[in-house]
Amino acid sequence: MTKDLWIPDNPDGSGWAPVDWVSAARGSRYHYQHGLPWEEANAQRPAFYEVVTRLESAELAPHENRYYVGREELADFLAEISLAGGAEVVWSVAPCASPPEASNVR
């Protein structure tokens, strides 16, 4: 959508719109709003995230994996696990104040 065609619901530039791409979320709606400039918005994000995945298949007993990911790598990591994870699916994503030392993420 171009700026010329997009008309927000509210004067502050926010609103609700239907999810219009094919996915599990199709038919629901998402909330949109104006965002801060990249540098300012990025600085407000948590430094790290804990990404929990669930893995189960006919060959494997169900289990969960916990990955600790820096904010700069989060989008790429989620794309990679979504595309290449096979039986491993994203279970949850949460801010993490400080990853465990054993994770080797700093």
Domain that residue 89 falls in: 46-100
How many Å separate Cα 46 from the centre of its chain?
Answer: 13
> Are residues 82 and 36 part of one domain?
no
pLDDT given for residue 96 in this prediction: 96
Residues 70-106: tens digit of each pLDDT: 999 999 999 999 888 788 899 999 999 999 999 999 8
In a domain, 3, yes or no: no
Q: How many domains does the chain have?
A: 2
| pTM, rounded to two decimals | 0.81
Q: What is the pLDDT of residue 1?
A: 47
What residues pair up with 89 in beta bridges, in sequence order? 54
